[in-house]
Structure 1
């Protein structure tokens, strides 16, 4: 029987969806295939938002139709028959999964007064322990403002928990644990203590604090709720959350002091001077950046005002509505903030809050999750991020002008994967991040051309490259380049590693490393690997990005470095030295190169299993491997695949990536004294996050091993 859990509440507005997201994410680290089931949905005509979000995050590839039970209407008409249908559909789904998260109803059906009892009956019939979610906020309309509700006291929450426990007990549903969501941040411990007094000792209680950003509506939701029209600005900024509301009915001088980060301003269409002033303030580094402007009323903007706004060329969204100020405010307050993949910052905060305040290991153990030997891409990523967090490494990102870097930085900082320094002009970087609704407040931002570190870095570079005739003035100029500056930060210990390449060539990224950081002692060549995360395991491919046609000696180096990198990231290295023939069946210069490389690698590292020359099928398929190379420890079960040249490696990794739907993480550079990793110029935000995490882990392991910074080869020479 697979692990299962039933998530329900006693009322609406509890934040159950964010808890469900955290539970799914927790299970993904151990269960190869996580299913999601919604026993009750509003309708079969439209897809349930929460189920759609959770299925996408689980990447289970389960059909939506297999993951829903019955509609509210069916449950009203015949509760017994509805319950039977729910059990039948759940059993069919569960058979395909290693763990299943069941998300109860939304408590939005006012005609169903026994909703908690019905959820408890479903949980009992599915034999699924209940994770009870309590809302730390209560809906008092007099206090409601942009998704904010009045806080409950710990004693009130204890009473609610006791009431819910009674309902669950009456229907023989088992209570696994309680999560209080949106709790008053100053009363987390007091809330947990109060609730535990009314629960059995074996039932844990966790509390997650309120975070305004999770309930704040994005500008897009305000645009829809007000029925407005986007007349100016960038659609890219419609995902930014609205954190406050300012009705600018006063003069310009009175409005400017009231501006706040992330605020939405409502300005009458005939107050053109206020509109202009606010737009200019948004663009100025001396004022907060705002989320959007709504201009209301039937007054048209004059041509001169429009021309002036054109000249400012601001990306700030400006929405036009025809309603009165009062009706416009009501429209804004109707906008809802929901968690979805369209809002990565909300997603990151929800997951970070859950993992910070809920004991994931205890939750998994109470659900009795058994991962087996499978290692999925999601498991690999989870382990990677956990190890990166443990290393607490400081990574420098030289390409602060790229939106992808800023989006990745926001996720990295929110999820505490690494500490960051971003290179570029601080004012423009922070302004752009704020416009995009990103969190990079904890990052250090340095402009290399104005940094106080520049003279020190120039002196160090001139010393390192003295044998090449580099003068201090030349070094000073070169150190103003972000790639050189970032590399020197790593060399001198101001950062533990560097990730670049989203906006620069591979040569621009790694050339400074060859000159400054240099290779490890005993390593003749810098090379790369990709981690190929398949459906059930992780393989390592090298070299697919750096060396066009390595010699036998270099190929041996690449094989040893790749095996060491594999071991660093939990892949047991069994190294296949690939060729177009296996064993002694073929001959020719290319085969001989691989044969010599295999012998050299085995001589240098007799503790590692190597096989070569060997064909890919003999290396990867057990039956073929047994037939072509009997008795080999590698044939049929290789985990590290070494390609004879860049052409073969690059094409193979891309073919496997596309045809097997594998997640390719990399390229990861290896052989340098300190970690520097290259991105492709088509890198996605996820690629950047993964590469930073890998670099952080490499840095953590480097710190544990004493190195000689200037030892090794100057690979650029």
Structure 2
């Protein structure tokens, strides 16, 4: 299984592309070096197929780097249907590729692209359980400046919780180019007016001592890396090279436009000048050249603009340039066009220069802390899914099981929409109970596509053959065929009998019927399994960054200690289906021995029963909700609790508490709940809320399929 690492920029101008490139090389050279076949999957949250780094990777690194395309969050509106669709597509792509790659590297979106970049980066990173590396710049290498950054980071992480932060990279430390949008020519002057090549970092521990995460790298801005060579400019402008001086790597320190009336510009102390010359002024330029370059090399390269002559004629006219080893090129574009194009040159354009990229990655990689990068963080307890991960795994597990799920409420629009999606995505084999003509008529009227091969059972054609079985199952009651026939006119009862006969694997109902209408036939005809003495319910609560189970919130009004213990054991078995280690909180208004009374005693007894039946289970009770979910509160109220403030199953003392709590959380926190899921039956029967959305129904169908044996 691969690692998923996401780079999240905390500011603009953090050099995210160069950090991505360097990390790819770092993993290849330092971590995957002994296994060359191990590959890396890279993608950016902004469509970057025309980006110079993407082009470079595609050209030079395709043997060990693969690319995920068509992912672009830069134009998406947060929480729109299009946004959620793209987010789900991203999550599915990552999980499909986890087994294929050793590293999946995600390049987060920068603030300059989108006002909701922070939220988008958080959504993506948390829903794919990525190890997060924050990126930031540092205009001035000082304790005060770092503290300003720390304050911003703490504010962010308090507002947006990240469950798996690998560390932080500070890039461009002491860069003179941060924050201001200089033109290329202005940047060139700034770079070449700086005397020091590399600014050395000192007092690292003192300056970074309050940073809340490990420092993966602190990278000083480097003048040598930023220097521009004449060849970089030629390639960017796409001009025709006539003479290139191969003896030297000509560093460009200034760019000037030739004007014979202002020769003093060329007589100042500057050197390594790159000159833009209109071809019509070539003779004047050559005259001036004898004066300027007489004593030392000032002019190293020129571009002749508005050139229409052949290459041969230009060479003849420019013999003096060749004699003085001055590089020159020609273009049909005029001086204004070249100057305008040049102003848009960025240092990323140098990524087409293999020597530059090699120097860049070596420089940046030299600052990476191998220990922090290779120290993959693990959760202190088992698997922990984000909501969207959980939903993705629901569909994946259901697809593998491929069970037949019957839906008796087949004239309900939401049911048909959910069935259509389940068909399209092979989530389960849905069986509709109803009249085929009526079902297709409703579907066509609401533009719902149902495949021709969908199974539809007409209840009128099968009802009679189930009367005998109904009477057998209800023989302890004094009933006759007339009563049985009347009962089987109810599609839910008939569907329950179809399930009991093994013709299907599970049943989902409740979108237009009450919970009692769904559960009563199941209790009468399916009955409890060999491990259970009662039927209970669980809800999967999909909170912002985690998935919890609440039980029992729908069926048992006031369970005794034995029943509470049974509910806890049933809920733990449900969670184990997903490979998640159960951590059960038996909830009360009291923690430990801080309270007393019959309710607290009941919960204490129930906890003891669970421990006796399943000694290895992680459980605590009685415990208050805050101590069950907060490590800080748990240390204060229950320092010896095995839950450690990280419970994932919450057993409520009665139906009042459970039902009120789940609806309060669902509505107030705007969370998503799947269920109630019934537990303890021989065959899976699940109830829908009458307010269930299409998405609710799809996930309930998937869960029912997963529960089926």
Residue 450 of structure 1, CA deviation: 1.9
Residue 71 of structure 2 contacts residue 90 of structure 2 at CA under 8 Å; is this kept in 1? no
Residue 559 of structure 1 contacts residue 642 of structure 1 at CA under 8 Å; is this kept in 2? yes
Residue 434 of structure 1, CA deviation: 2.5
Residue 571 of structure 1 contacts residue 639 of structure 1 at CA under 8 Å; is this kept in 2? no
RMSD (Å), alpha carbons: 4.6
In 2, Cα distance between equivalents of 1:371 and 1:656: 30
Please give the TM-score of this superposition, normalised by the length of structure 2. 0.51
2:659 to 650, 661, 679: 650
The residue aligned with 2:566 is 557
Q: Secondary structure at the match of 1:468?
A: coil
* Superimposed CA distance per residue, residues 550-590 of structure 1 (whole angstroms, 9 cap, x where no aligned partner): 12221111111111111112331121111111222221121
The residue aligned with 2:640 is 631
Matched, 1:479 2:483: no
1:686 to 695, 698, 702: 695
Residue 422 of structure 1 contacts residue 443 of structure 1 at CA under 8 Å; is this kept in 2? no
The residue aligned with 2:343 is none
* Superimposed CA distance per residue, residues 385-410 of structure 1 (whole angstroms, 9 cap, x where no aligned partner): 11110111111111111111111111
CA 1:696–1:631 in structure 2 vs 1: closer, same or farther (change >3 Å)? Answer: same
In 2, Cα distance between equivalents of 1:410 and 1:57: 28
Query: After TM superposition, where is structure 1 displaced by more than 4 Å over at least 4 residues in a row?
Result: 6-10, 14-23, 27-41, 54-63, 77-82, 167-173, 370-374
The residue aligned with 1:24 is 90
CA 1:9–1:34 in structure 2 vs 1: closer, same or farther (change >3 Å)? Answer: closer
Matched, 1:457 2:474: no
In 2, Cα distance between equivalents of 1:613 and 1:626: 15
Please give the TM-score of this superposition, normalised by the length of structure 1. 0.50
CA 1:35–1:422 in structure 2 vs 1: closer, same or farther (change >3 Å)? Answer: farther
CA 1:439–1:515 in structure 2 vs 1: closer, same or farther (change >3 Å)? Answer: same
CA 1:38–1:627 in structure 2 vs 1: closer, same or farther (change >3 Å)? Answer: closer
Matched, 1:605 2:643: no
Residue 621 of structure 1 contacts residue 637 of structure 1 at CA under 8 Å; is this kept in 2? yes
1:395 to 394, 402, 405: 405
Residue 535 of structure 1, CA deviation: 2.9
Task: Report the structure number with the largest CA radius of gyration.
Answer: 2
Map 1:225-374 onto structure 2 (within 5 A). Answer: 373=379
1:420 to 422, 430, 442: 430
CA 1:421–1:59 in structure 2 vs 1: closer, same or farther (change >3 Å)? Answer: farther
Residue 539 of structure 1 contacts residue 571 of structure 1 at CA under 8 Å; is this kept in 2? no
In 1, Cα distance between equivalents of 2:469 and 2:452: 28
In 2, Cα distance between equivalents of 1:606 and 1:633: 13
Residue 427 of structure 1, CA deviation: 0.7
The residue aligned with 2:418 is 408
In 2, Cα distance between equivalents of 1:56 and 1:39: 13
In 1, Cα distance between equivalents of 2:629 and 2:107: 30
In 1, Cα distance between equivalents of 2:528 and 2:186: 69
In 2, Cα distance between equivalents of 1:80 and 1:533: 53
In 2, Cα distance between equivalents of 1:466 and 1:433: 40
In 1, Cα distance between equivalents of 2:496 and 2:637: 46
In 1, Cα distance between equivalents of 2:419 and 2:550: 27
In 1, Cα distance between equivalents of 2:499 and 2:70: 42
Residue 431 of structure 2 contacts residue 457 of structure 2 at CA under 8 Å; is this kept in 1? no
The residue aligned with 2:6 is 2
Q: Secondary structure at the match of 1:667?
A: strand
Residue 396 of structure 1 contacts residue 498 of structure 1 at CA under 8 Å; is this kept in 2? yes
CA 1:169–1:478 in structure 2 vs 1: closer, same or farther (change >3 Å)? Answer: farther
In 2, Cα distance between equivalents of 1:80 and 1:507: 76
In 2, Cα distance between equivalents of 1:56 and 1:448: 48
Aligned residues: 412
Map 1:508-527 onto structure 2 (within 5 A). Answer: 508-527=517-536
Structure 1: segments with no counterpart, 5+ residues: 64-76, 83-94, 96-116, 119-166, 174-367, 704-717
In 1, Cα distance between equivalents of 2:186 and 2:407: 58
The residue aligned with 1:584 is 593
Residue 635 of structure 1, CA deviation: 4.6
Residue 534 of structure 1, CA deviation: 2.5
Residue 498 of structure 1 contacts residue 695 of structure 1 at CA under 8 Å; is this kept in 2? yes
CA 1:79–1:647 in structure 2 vs 1: closer, same or farther (change >3 Å)? Answer: farther
2:502 to 493, 496, 506: 493
Structure 2: segments with no counterpart, 5+ residues: 8-41, 51-68, 73-81, 128-155, 160-181, 188-212, 214-235, 238-348, 356-373
In 2, Cα distance between equivalents of 1:417 and 1:168: 48
Residue 599 of structure 1, CA deviation: 2.0
Residue 527 of structure 1, CA deviation: 0.6
The residue aligned with 1:376 is 386
Residue 424 of structure 1 contacts residue 445 of structure 1 at CA under 8 Å; is this kept in 2? no
The residue aligned with 2:440 is 430
* Superimposed CA distance per residue, residues 189-229 of structure 1 (whole angstroms, 9 cap, x where no aligned partner): xxxxxxxxxxxxxxxxxxxxxxxxxxxxxxxxxxxxxxxxx
Residue 626 of structure 1, CA deviation: 2.7
Residue 404 of structure 2 contacts residue 505 of structure 2 at CA under 8 Å; is this kept in 1? yes
Residue 507 of structure 2 contacts residue 684 of structure 2 at CA under 8 Å; is this kept in 1? yes
In 2, Cα distance between equivalents of 1:33 and 1:686: 30
In 1, Cα distance between equivalents of 2:640 and 2:409: 50
